[in-house]
Amino acid sequence: MTVQKLHRWSLLGFVALGPLGLISGSPILLVSGLVTVLLIVRGLDNFGEVPVRLARSVIVHGLTVLGLLGALVLFRTDRVDAVLLILLLGLMNRLLLRAGHRDDFLLVALTSTMIAAATTVTPGIEFLLIVLAAVPALVLALWSSQLLGSVEHDPAELNRTRNRSLPPGMGRWVAIAMVMTVMGTAFCTLFPRYKFSRVLGAGAFVRLPGASDSMRLDADGTSDEDDETVVMRVRPDGNLGVSELTGLYARLHTLEDFDGRTWTARDYGDRFTTYRPPASGKQRVQVQLARQSHGYDHPVAVLGRVAPAGVFSPHLKRDAGGRILAGVGRDRQLEYQALLDVPLRDPPPDAEESSLLDVPAELDPRFSALALRLASGADTDEEKVERILRHFQDGFSYSTEPLVGEASHPLVRFLFESKSGHCEMYAAAVATLLRLSGVRSRVATGYYGGRWNRMGGYLAFVQGDAHAWVEFWSEAHRGWRWIDATPEDLRGRRASLALWALARDWYDTVSAIWYERVVDFDGRRQKELYHRALDRFSGFAELLRGQSADSKPKQSSTSAMGTVVMGVGAAILLLVLPGWLVVRRRRSSRALGLRLRKALGARRDIDRSATLGQLLERQPEDLVPEGRRAVEFYERHRFGGAEPEQIAPLVEAIEALERGRRQLTQARD
């Protein structure tokens, strides 16, 4: 591979990572980023070789100005996308008008800024992988650009430098850089915020609502059951295991208003009621919820099986509808505690409030007839609930396919014609029949089931776990109770392959550590890390001092051995690593070259641009043989790909030259 090819592929490969990291943001960034990537690919043929003409310059600058005007208009509604669009415009402008190595540095700077800006789109562990993948290509791009830029004003020398072959030892680094660049591109493309499969799939804009604050019954579309995006992690405290976390619901929204086709959450505005944290319980779990917005009043997932359980956090409040909200904080991860064995005490609905019994007046009369038949003879609300649930156990089936039937109303088709539908249909039908039977009820949306992460030791809920069920007010229990008509074996996701499950668990565990230790590494977590490190090192110090068992409890043998191993390893690392780095640096080509120039008598300020040949011509006659021998060994090592064991003759030649220069200086003195 020549220097010119290395320059093309490394620079353009690095520059492509910036737009690829941003095109997952919005349709505008998608189009702009793809155009930029196409320009980069097109530029592989003539990058840096075609002179920039005046007409081309005028056209490119004109289009850039138009794009900036569009970005200013976009700034009114979406400031983040507008800023990212301006960065893309700057990159496209320099790509099309590149005139020298100075533009290369501008391209690198713009791309680095865009890679950093990609955190607004993908703040997860993918960002770290993108950065690590980009570093080798960045180093090679800057090195080759500087090499070509130093001779770009001399056409003959520039042509020779372009066609110069790389040293054999550099081929491995070039291959590593290219592989890592491809990996970075894959991560940019495969882990975006903007899912390409959803856009290209049928029914992309009429999807099942999942864990949403509204539920439209006539929205047939693809389901989220294959979406593996983690939205919540439930980490057990104490002795809780997998069995205690099986079959959990996680409620986010309560939908109270029903217009016949859509269930929606009522907007209570700033009407909040006092939220009192529950008493201490034994089944305590730590919940980590990924925020879906950066504003205040984000709904908190309330866990439970047959009823909502209490949650605890310093900044929680309750709206007038009973939802628990996080009142403060803008972290990307919202953390709080839940007590699975302590019920959430909700205030009873107002007796005069009839909204929990409202149904549309134009509802099909068959609904009222069915509700009257099912509730006939039932004395309590619990008996009515049991009869309605039993009705859906006979002849009904679960399906995410569009409803079949001739009726225009989706619930009519589900209840009286197809008798086959998804969880939203079951929940809407049950809640409607309950209201017609005089039972105060509403629809709840959130997640169900989850999957145990064996590597991280927590229960992970993903977008594919989105689910809808029903809440009804029970006077007997003085609280809300959860019921679900969806067949139990079809509420959760399908099992995945063992290898894919292991890879998914590993990826989510690393992502959780990334968020906890990097993205949301606030003062509280810094103090926790400090105290853990202090305890660990204090235990090691006490062990070295031989502290008696009377002054402090003994560590277990396993813990003590682990502390000793960690301490010895740290000591070896601190003592051996610096020495190894110093020796390796002294043996590097750059260090040996500087040492050789000094041995040839080069002065730092005056002879900075002098070549080895020029320095050799100025040597005294007695030092010419040693100098020529040292230069010959150095060029063989620097450009001939000499093996590490062949460095010894070069070092000996430089030492002989240094001794000869010292002897000559002493003789003159």
Collapsing DSSP states into helix, strand and coil, what is residue 485?
coil
Q: How far apart are CA 418 and CA 426, in angstroms?
A: 13
**What pLDDT, on the 0 to 100 scale, is given for residue 529?**
65
Q: In the beta sheet, which residues pair with residue 290?
A: 333
Is the pLDDT at 423 greater than 80? The verdict is yes
Average pLDDT of the segment spanning 20-25 = 64
Please compute the mean of the pLDDT values over residues 184-188 and round it to a whole number: 62
What share of the chain in percent tops pLDDT 90?
11
Nearest to 309 by CA among 272, 292, 284, 334: 284
Cα distance between residue 491 and residue 447, in whole Å: 10
Q: Is the pLDDT of residue 204 over 50?
A: no
Residue 582 main-chain phi, psi, to 5 deg: -65, -45
Query: Is residue 162 pLDDT above 60, yes or no?
Result: yes
Identify the pLDDT of residue 472.
94
| 197 has pLDDT over 70 | no
Q: Tokens 């010419």: give the residue.
A: 624
Give exposure, 42-63, as e/b (b: 16+ Cβ within 10 Å). ebeeebbeeeeeeeeeeebeee
- The whole-number pLDDT of residue 491 equals 73
| pLDDT (mean) for 244-260 | 89
Residue 211 identity (one-letter amino acid)? A
For residue 445, the Cα-to-chain-centroid distance in whole angstroms is 25
Q: What is the pLDDT of residue 517?
A: 64
What pLDDT band is residue 435 in, cutting at 50, 70 and 90?
Answer: very high
Residue 195's pLDDT band, with cuts at 50, 70 and 90, is very low
Could you give the percent of the chain with pLDDT greater than 70?
Answer: 71
- Least-confidence region, from 283-297, 480-494, 643-657: 283-297
Position 434 scores a pLDDT of 94
Give the H/E segment covering residue 646: none
Query: Regarding beta strands 466-474 and 441-448, do their DSSP bridges make them parallel or antiparallel, or are they unpaired?
Result: antiparallel
pLDDT digits (tens, 9 = 90+) for 582-625: 555 455 677 777 888 888 888 766 776 778 888 888 888 878 88
Q: What is the pLDDT of residues 92-124, one digit of tens each?
A: 888 778 777 778 888 888 888 877 776 666 556
Handedness of CA 92, 95, 99, 105 (dihedral sign): positive
Whole-angstrom Cα distance, residue 356 to residue 349? 9
Average pLDDT across the chain, whole number: 75
Q: Where is average pLDDT lowest: 16-30, 180-194, 525-539?
A: 180-194
Q: Are strands 466-474 and 479-483 parallel, antiparallel or unpaired?
A: antiparallel
Per-residue pLDDT band at 29 (split at 50, 70, 90): confident
Compute the distance between CA of residue 185 and CA of residue 23 in angstroms, rounded to an integer.
12
For position 232, what pLDDT does the model report?
Answer: 87
Crossing angle of helices 3-22/79-96, nearest 10°?
A: 160
Instruction: Measure the CA–CA gap between 654 and 633, rounded to whole angstroms.
Output: 9
Residue 457 sits at the vertex; the CA angle it makes with 454 and 458, to the nearest 5 degrees, is 105
